[in-house]
Amino acid sequence: MRVKENGRKETTVCVGSWHIRGQELTQDTCTEAFPTKLGASIPKLGPLGVVGGSIKNVGGHFESWNTGILGPVALHGLSQGKRDLSWQKWTYQVGLRGEAMNLAYPTNTPSVEWMDASFTVQKPQPLTWHKTYFDAPEGDEPLALDMEGMGKGQILVNGESIGRYWTTFATGDCGNCSYTGTYKPNKCLSGCGQPTQRYYHVPRSWLKPSQNLLVIFEEIGGNPSAVSLVKRSVSGVCAEVSEYHLNIKNWQLESYGKGQTFHRPKVHWKSSPGQAISAIKFASFVTPLRKCGSYQQGEFHAAT
């Protein structure tokens, strides 16, 4: 099956009970092929388009720009050759059935039959809802979900949405770093070969002492058994400030032409509950070298 698409997104195609996932588009318009298995019965074709990046919303006549599946949608390899499905009867559905059923809410999860996770781990499937329960850890440390092993989707805790997650791996060359010449986004990269974001904050105010419901909607396919709840422990903090550091109050004074004294920039530290600032390991005036965790005194260092 071949589908002509426009816009930077990812498309998942469902044919009957088969899930066929396409790749993210690397150009504005392309024709994508999906290997398809057909049985004797008449299957239902269900393309699901997921926006994977920013949608253009500036420029002249941007409201006339096309995005999504433009057509044609055609089946190839049939005994009679190619069959164009573009003129078949199509219907459009906004959102997913699981969203309409509010599966993420504790009162609604019993309304469907859930499958044991061991079956889904053996062969990860896209477009899958996962649920589990957990107790709130003791202490006051900030919490986060470690989504290693998952692909892309939505996280909900006790019916509250944490937001979308996407653990795609960063690509590029992190070995060389030189800002010489024109700046480009691929200069001085970091984190190559690692998830662009692995941890997702969970507000403690949303949690109960026990039986907290975690619901994950996975779009690509992942291993939910690898998901874990972790505590965040801050062992060190770095900060820098300059004499002419921009801040909101100074910007307002400049904008309205008020002749008031500019607010001097300051750095404020505050420890988390149960923690205390034990030491200041490095302090330097003017131009320190290196980066957080490995600072060194610069050429024009001043002790006070």
pTM: 0.69
Q: Does 191 lie in the same domain as 272?
A: no
Do 272 and 172 belong together in one domain? no
Same domain, 106 and 225: yes
- Contact in structure between 225 and 218 (CB atoms under 8 Å): no
Q: Are residues 10 and 114 in the same domain?
A: no
- pLDDT, residue 122, reads 66
209 and 125 both lie in a single domain: yes
Contact 158, 131 (CB under 8 A): no
Range of the domain at 13: 2-84
CA angle 272, 232, 223 (to 5 degrees): 160
pLDDT at 200: 96
Residues 115, 183 share a domain: yes
- Closest to 153 measured CA to CA, from 204, 210, 227: 227
pLDDT of 129-182, one tens digit each? Answer: 999 999 999 988 899 999 988 998 999 999 999 999 988 877 777 877 787 888
Structural domain count, the chain: 3
> Would you say 44 and 4 are in contact if contact means Cβ atoms under 8 Å apart?
no
Asked which of 208, 231, 254 is the last residue of a domain, the reply is 231
Cα end-to-end distance, the chain, whole Å = 71
With a CB cutoff of 8 Å and minimum separation 6, the contacts of 287 are 298, 299, 300, 301
Q: Render pLDDT for 279-292 as a digit per residue (tens, 0 to 9).
A: 888 888 777 787 78
CB atoms within 10 A of CB 124: 16
**Total residue length of the chain:** 304
Domain boundary among 231, 258, 278: 231
Structure-token match 């005994």, residue found: 79
**Tokens of residue 230, six digits:** 């972790």
Distance CA(125)–CA(3), nearest Å, equals: 22
Q: What pLDDT does residue 254 have?
A: 52
For position 94, what pLDDT does the model report?
A: 79
Residue after which a domain boundary falls, among 62, 84, 106: 84
Contacts of 212 (CB under 8 A, 6+ apart): 133, 134, 135, 136, 157, 158
Beta partners for residue 73, in sequence order: 3
Q: How far is CA 56 from the centre of its chain?
A: 19
Question: Residue 116 belongs to a domain with what CATH number?
Answer: 2.60.120
- Asked if residue 221 lies in contact with residue 121, where contact means CB atoms within 8 angstroms, the answer is no
CA 24 – CA 50 distance, rounded (Å):
10
- The parts of the chain modelled with pLDDT lower than 50 are 7-11, 15-20, 22-27, 52, 253
Cβ-Cβ contacts under 8 Å for 296 (sequence gap 6 or more): 288, 289, 290
Query: In this structure, are residues 295 and 288 in contact, taking their beta carbons and an 8 Å threshold?
Result: yes
Q: CA-based Rg of the chain, rounded to a whole angstrom?
A: 26
pLDDT of residue 19: 45
211 in a structural domain: yes
- Whether residue 90 lies inside any domain: the answer is no
